[in-house]
Structures are given as structure tokens and as C-alpha cells.
């Protein structure tokens, strides 16, 4: 790595030559990571909860001991323990009681002594924060499954709710896809008051304070009036539930099993996300399905495919991201151009093409029954739950490749069907959610089960921006397209007072602002448009002295009062640069300093290192470290800068 000053060299030609060298090194490094069948997939890391839950799942089912795997999982959990004694939700983050309770329980389960220094520190931190009873709903459910906590301390959601009509105010169809797939098998576990086998007999009563635990005073997303109403209903349900007819309960359980089995999704798993997959396995187990029953067996195998096992450590991913990784890397490679793009991108798109879902009418069809399927999922397969974000990114990649590589009509049908499905799922406010239409039943975030505040999938700026970029790249203009005008109006309304946009699926306002600026540029706005100018000015105002950009996951705090400085990261720097270039600022000195930051931090492999979590799962609850983000986004930004500086244009010509 070169030690160079923070500004580009005064000789512009020399500076661009150095950038070209950096682009070539990164592109070659990514080419080497492409799989034989043409796709890319990078690790997707969450916090301690998923590997801890994996350990506890094995003991719930009383599976055979796996000492070598447990040793590696333990090494991972100990390494990511925070200096505060507990476990955070993201690298370097604050203590989180739910993650800490699960990690402590898992480590004790695999043999760590409660008297070990790291366990003593964890226990002290947990007790100092009110003990295990203060954990979130999902953690308390796990504790109830193990008999560490009474089911009375868990919100009651009767399994019979699966039988309610769609118009009923509290219905699974009104929840997000992830809540739906996690909740349905969980309804069965709760109805049956399932108890984990726990063959080792490990308990964690030492994590509970004696006596009454004071009520929390932390700010919550829940409205006091609605919360009081739903808490009252919860109390009534706890009294009434034992009196409900057994026949109705059996019918409800059967409906839940049918729901799960229909969406089992082969070895990619229910919803293709760990919590739903684990709940499905436990549901089948509770209902007496033997280990070799096809449904239970394939559900269990799907979880093993999430493991990342190294020489000394192992962890379990929350899901995998091959479609997302492949489509975004293809965009970066097309920006690079030349032989490296020609040798990688068509292969990547050929891999993506058959993954388009053209047959299954997923849960989204309940709201849009007349729309034909045509989307892509985030994972390898997830037929019932394709998403708008991935679909828009894939469509833009295929559309760009048609021209760039002279591919004729090879992707015409895929592009058309993807665009048709995307436009068919536009919400009534002009924006797009990730998986569903008009999933805006905000009162549901007040039910006791929704203490995480992530029960819904409303339209968001980042996903909407991707869809706008796709439509614009395919030729739609606000002058001729009412849906484009509605979408642009939505983005204008969502812009914050300081000029930024909120980022739901990436951290955070840098991600949202990058997304919006690319979309507005694609739709024909230039850097003089007020929204573009304010967005660009905001990005420039938060640039770090080292030339990069950074933003912490704490920016999702409910009492957010504006940007707080954070260390620069490669991925967030790339987003900021791509956003500024979309706003016509390629010649701004701040952009040059940002490019130099990327060039200076490129390592000997040709790529970039980043421990920070810059991916969003659920704000304030669950964050993601995309291992691919510091690989392809910086390459994309550097290649675009090179192209714009060498060409006649000063703004990108594509939707992304």
C-alpha cells in the first residue's frame, strides 16, 4: 500500500494512471473470486445471535455432539465479545442485552465455565442492564423453550390467528414477509408450550435478577396509547387461550404446517432466512416428525448451508446473498469495462437469468393478484419472496449489458418481465417496499410481539430509488409516465431537512442519499435541481478529514438529531462518491480526495478491508456485515471516476 498525500497528484494524467492501476488490480482480484458457474457470493455476517442460536438449536433437538464445530463456534463468539463485557449488534457497538444473553447461554452450553473471566464479565454486564428478563421478545421465547422463563412472560399470539380472515386488523398477511415466515411455525411452538430437550441440562438462572425488575425507560417506537391497548388484549388472551376449543387449535396447527410446507423452499429454507428455518425444524420436531421425514430433513439441511467454517473459527450466517452480490459485482465490472468485463459479466448474467421467478405467485400476489411473476430473490432460491431491490438491480445490469456487449435480444424477455413485476408492485404513495405492496399497517408495530419495531415492510427511499433508476434506464420519463412522476414525488417528500435520505437497507443516510441521487440523475435531474444540490451538499459537509466517509449504525437511533462523525469505511466512501458523481460533482475537490482515500487504502490483494457493519437488517435490532461491499463498491466508484474524467460526460448515463 502506498503512503501518498490526501490530494490527487497535480499531474492529472499521472493521477488517472494510478487510479487505472488500482482499478485493474481490484477487477482482477474480483475476477479470481467468481465461481465456475459465473456467480459471486460473499460472506454475510450478523451478530452473535445467529451462531448462538445455532448452538442452542442443536441442543434443543438433542443432536449428536459436534465438539470440533462447537470449539470453532466458541472461538468466534469469544472473539467478538465487546470490551463492555457483553456482545454488540455490530462491530464496536454498544452492549446489547439480547445478543449477550444468547451468547452467554451458548458458551455455557458448549462447556465454558461461568467462573471463566469472560463469562464473569458477560454476566456482570447482563445483570447491570436488568438481567435476562429485559431481553427482547425473541430471546424470551428462546428462554421459555428452555424453561428458563415462564411462557407468561412472553406475548401471547394464539395459533388460531392463522385462521382469521384477511380483513381482520391483526393478520399475518398484513405483516412483512420475514415476520410471516418466522411467526407461523412459532405459533405452533407457543401453542404446544414446547420444551427444548437440553440433554446437557444447562441452565442460566444466574442471569436473572431476584425480585421485581424496574420497567424500562428507554425510548421506544411504540405509541403509548396503542401499546396500552394491545397489552390489554395480551392480558385477556392469556386468560382466554386455555379455554379455546381443541378442534379449532388442531385446525390452526394444521394450517400453519401447510403454510410452512408449501414455502419450504428446498435446501434454501423457509423464507431463506435462519430464524424462519430454525423455527420450521423445531415445529416439525414438536409435531413428531422423525429426523428422516423429507420435510424435516430438508429443513434441517438448509441450516447447515449457512455455516461458514474456517480453520479456527465458525459462525452461522443469517442468510446468503448470491443474487445481490452477483448483480452488484456485474455492475462494477461493467463500469471497469474491457476484457475483464467481457470475460465475467455475460457469465454472471447467464447464471442470474434462470433464477428469475416466472411461475410462483408468492405472498405478494394477495395484494396484486393480476400481476405476473417476474422477480429475483436475494438468495439462491426464494420463490415465494422475490424482492424489488434485487430485481431492479438485475434488470439494470441486463439492460446495460445488452448494449455494452452487443448481446442482441438474449435478455429482452427477462428485462421485460422483471420491469413488469416491479411496476406492478408500486405502492399507493408512489414508492416501493422490498417485498410487498402497501405494507403500511403501522399500528401493528405496537403489538407486544413487535418490540423490535420491524414487523412491516413499507416503501423506503433506497428501494424506491432503485426502481426509479430501473424505469429511467429503460426509457421512462416523468413527462410521459404518471408512475414515474409519483415515484419522484415520493423521493422528494422523503428527503430530510438536512438534504439526506434515510437508508433502510444500508447504513444509513449515506446509503439512502447515494441511492436517491443515482435515481434522480437517471430520471433526468441535474446537479442544479434543489433536491440534488441539497443531497450533494450534505455529502460534502460530512466528509472526513482523511478524505473518506463513514456512518455508524447508531444513526438509526430513535433520538437521531443529525449526522455524527464516524470513521471512514471503503463501502460508505464509495457510496458517497457515486452519489456525488451522479449529482455532477466529478470535478469537485472533495471527490478527488475521496478517490484518493480509496486508492490509499487499497491493500496488497487489490481489494479493501472493512470490519464495520454497513448493511441493514432491522434498524436498532439487526445489522449486517456484507463481506462483498468493500470489494465491489470501491472498484465501482474508482472506475466511474476514471470514466467520467476521461470522457466528455460529467454524469453517469445509467440507473446505477
The full DSSP string for 512-581 is HHHHHHHHHHHTT--TTSHHHHHHHHHHHHT--TTS-B---GGGG-TT--S------BHHHHHHHHHHHH
CA atoms within 13 A on the CB side of 391: 35
With cell 430501473, the residue in question is 470
Between the CA of residue 423 and those of 23, 278, 484, 537, what are the distances in Å? Answer: 35, 34, 10, 31
The Cα–Cα gap between 70 and 495 comes to 47
Asked if residue 230 has pLDDT above 60, the reply is no
CA distance 544 to 550: 8
* pLDDT confidence of residue 219: 47
Strand order in the sheet with 622-626: 44-45, 622-626, 615-618
How far apart CA 349 and CA 337 sit, in angstroms, is: 15
Can 389 be counted among the known catalytic residues?
yes
Predicted confidence band of residue 407 (pLDDT cuts 50, 70, 90): confident
Q: What is the pLDDT of residue 269?
A: 97
Query: Predicted confidence band at 239 (pLDDT cuts at 50, 70, 90)?
Result: low
- The whole-number average pLDDT for the span 209-225 is 57
Residue 273 has pLDDT above 80, yes or no: yes
pLDDT digits (tens, 9 = 90+) for 11-35: 454 488 899 999 999 999 999 999 9
- Dig out the grid coordinates for 39 from the structure: 456467480
Nearest to 460 by CA among 529, 559, 389: 389
- How far is CA 24 from its chain centroid? 30
> Quick one: CA dihedral 567, 570, 574, 577, positive or negative?
positive
Distance CA 386, CA 310 (A): 31
pTM of the model: 0.93
**315 SS3 class:** strand
- Supply the pLDDT for residue 14: 47
The residues pairing with 457 across neighbouring beta strands, listed in sequence order, are 439
Which of 96, 363, 387, 389 is the catalytic position? 389
What does residue 500 show for φ and ψ, rounded to 5 degrees?
Answer: -90, 170
pLDDT digits (tens, 9 = 90+) for 619-645: 889 999 999 999 999 999 999 999 999
Mean pLDDT of the chain: 92
Which of 136, 272, 140, 230 has the alpha carbon at shortest distance from 442?
A: 230
pLDDT at 222: 52
Residues ≥6 apart with Cβ < 8 Å to 107: 74, 77, 78, 118, 119, 122
The pLDDT tens digits for 352-399 are 999 999 999 999 999 999 999 999 999 999 999 999 999 999 999 999
Tens digit of pLDDT for each residue in 39-71?
999 999 999 999 999 999 999 999 999 999 999
Task: Enumerate the β-bridge partners of residue 314.
Answer: 309
pLDDT per residue as tens digits for the range 471-500: 999 999 999 999 999 999 999 999 999 999
**How would you class 152 by CB atoms within 10 Å of its CB: exposed for 0-12, middle for 13-18, buried for 19 or more?**
exposed
253 burial type by CB count under 10 A (0-12 exposed, 13-18 middle, 19+ buried): buried
Amino acid at each position: 500500500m502506498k503512503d501518498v498525500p490526501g490530494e490527487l497528484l497535480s499531474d492529472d494524467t499521472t493521477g488517472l494512471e494510478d487510479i487505472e492501476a488500482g482499478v485493474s488490480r481490484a477487477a482482477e482480484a474480483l475476477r479470481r473470486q467468481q465461481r465456475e458457474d459465473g456467480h459471486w457470493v460473499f460472506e454475510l455476517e450478523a451478530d452473535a445471535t445467529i451462531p448462538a442460536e445455532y448452538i442452542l438449536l442443536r441442543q434443543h433437538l438433542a443432536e449428536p455432539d459436534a465438539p470440533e464445530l462447537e470449539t470453532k463456534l466458541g472461538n468466534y463468539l469469544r472473539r467478538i465479545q465487546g470490551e463492555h463485557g457483553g456482545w454488540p449488534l455490530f462491530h464496536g457497538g454498544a452492549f446489547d442485552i439480547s445478543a449477550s444473553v444468547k451468547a452467554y447461554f451458548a458458551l455455557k452450553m458448549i462447556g465454558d465455565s461461568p467462573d471463566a473471566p469472560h463469562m464473569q464479565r458477560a454476566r456482570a454486564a447482563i445483570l447491570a442492564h436488568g438481567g435476562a428478563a429485559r431481553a427482547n421478545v425473541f430471546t424470551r421465547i428462546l428462554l421459555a423453550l428452555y424453561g428458563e422463563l415462564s411462557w407468561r412472560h412472553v406475548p401471547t399470539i394464539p395459533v388460531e390467528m392463522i385462521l382469521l380472515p384477511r380483513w381482520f386488523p391483526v393478520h399475518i398477511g398484513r405483516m412483512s414477509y420475514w415476520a410471516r415466515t418466522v411467526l407461523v411455525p412459532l405459533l405452533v411452538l407457543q401453542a404446544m408450550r414446547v420444551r427444548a430437550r437440553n440433554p446437557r441440562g444447562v441452565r442460566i438462572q444466574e442471569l436473572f435478577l431476584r425480585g421485581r425488575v424496574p420497567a424500562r425507560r428507554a425510548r421506544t417506537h411504540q405509541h403509548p396509547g396503542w401499546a396500552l391497548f394491545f397489552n390489554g388484549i395480551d392480558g385477556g388472551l392469556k386468560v382466554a387461550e386455555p379455554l379455546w376449543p381443541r378442534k379449532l387449535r388442531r385446525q390452526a396447527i394444521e394450517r400453519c404446517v401447510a403454510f410452512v410446507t408449501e414455502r419450504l423452499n428446498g435446501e434454501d429454507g423457509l423464507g431463506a432466512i435462519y430464524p424462519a428455518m430454525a423455527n420450521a425444524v423445531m415445529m416439525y420436531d414438536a409435531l413428531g416428525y422423525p429426523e428422516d421425514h423429507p420435510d424435516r430433513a430438508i429443513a434441517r439441511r438448509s441450516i447447515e448451508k449457512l455455516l461458514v467454517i474456517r480453520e479456527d473459527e465458525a459462525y452461522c450466517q443469517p442468510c446468503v446473498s448470491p443474487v445481490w452480490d452477483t448483480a452488484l459485482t456485474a455492475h462494477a465490472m461493467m463500469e471497469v469495462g474491457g476484457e475483464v468485463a467481457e470475460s465475467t459479466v455475460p457469465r454472471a448474467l447467464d447464471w442470474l437469468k434462470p433464477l428469475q421467478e416466472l411461475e410462483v405467485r408468492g405472498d405478494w400476489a394477495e395484494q396484486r393478484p393480476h400481476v405476473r411473476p417476474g422477480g429475483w430473490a436475494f438468495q439462491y432460491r426464494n420463490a415465494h419472496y422475490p424482492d424489488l431491490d434485487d430485481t431492479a438491480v438485475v434488470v439494470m445490469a441486463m439492460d446495460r449489458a445488452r448494449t455494452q456487449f452487443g448481446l442482441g435480444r438474449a435478455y429482452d424477455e427477462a428485462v421485460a418481465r422483471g420491469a413488469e413485476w416491479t411496476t406492478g408492485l408500486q405502492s399507493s404513495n408512489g414508492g416501493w417496499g422490498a417485498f410487498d405492496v402497501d405494507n403500511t399497517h403501522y399500528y401493528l408495530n405496537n403489538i407486544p410481539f413487535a418490540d423490535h419495531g420491524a414487523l412491516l415492510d413499507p416503501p423506503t427511499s433506497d428501494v424506491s430509488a432503485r426502481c426509479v433508476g430501473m424505469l429511467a434506464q429503460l426509457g421512462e420519463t416523468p413527462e410521459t409516465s404518471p408512475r414515474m412522476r409519483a415515484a419522484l414525488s415520493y423521493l422528494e417528500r422523503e428527503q430530510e431537512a438536512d438534504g439526506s435520505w434515510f437508508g433502510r437497507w444500508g447504513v444509513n443516510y449515506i446509503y439512502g442519499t447515494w441511492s436517491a441521487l443515482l435515481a434522480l440523475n437517471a430520471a433526468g435531474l441535474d446537479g442544479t435541481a434543489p433536491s440534488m444540490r441539497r443531497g450533494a451538499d450534505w455529502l460534502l459537509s460530512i466528509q472526513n478529514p482523511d478524505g473518506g466517509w463513514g456512518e455508524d449504525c447508531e444513526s438509526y437511533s430513535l433520538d437521531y438529531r443529525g449526522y455524527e462523525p464516524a470513521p471512514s469505511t471503503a463501502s460508505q466512501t464509495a457510496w458517497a462518491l457515486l452519489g456525488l458523481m451522479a449529482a455532477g460533482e466529478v470535478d469537485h475537490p472533495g471527490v478527488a480526495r475521496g478517490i484518493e482515500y480509496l486508492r490509499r487504502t487499497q491493500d496488497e490483494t487489490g481489494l479493501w478491508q472493512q470490519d464495520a457493519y454497513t448493511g441493514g437488517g432491522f434498524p436498532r435490532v439487526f445489522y449486517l456485515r456484507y463481506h462483498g461491499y468493500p470489494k465491489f463498491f470501491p472498484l465501482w466508484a474508482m472506475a466511474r471516476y476514471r470514466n467520467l474524467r476521461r470522457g466528455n460526460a460529467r454524469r453517469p448515463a445509467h440507473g446505477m
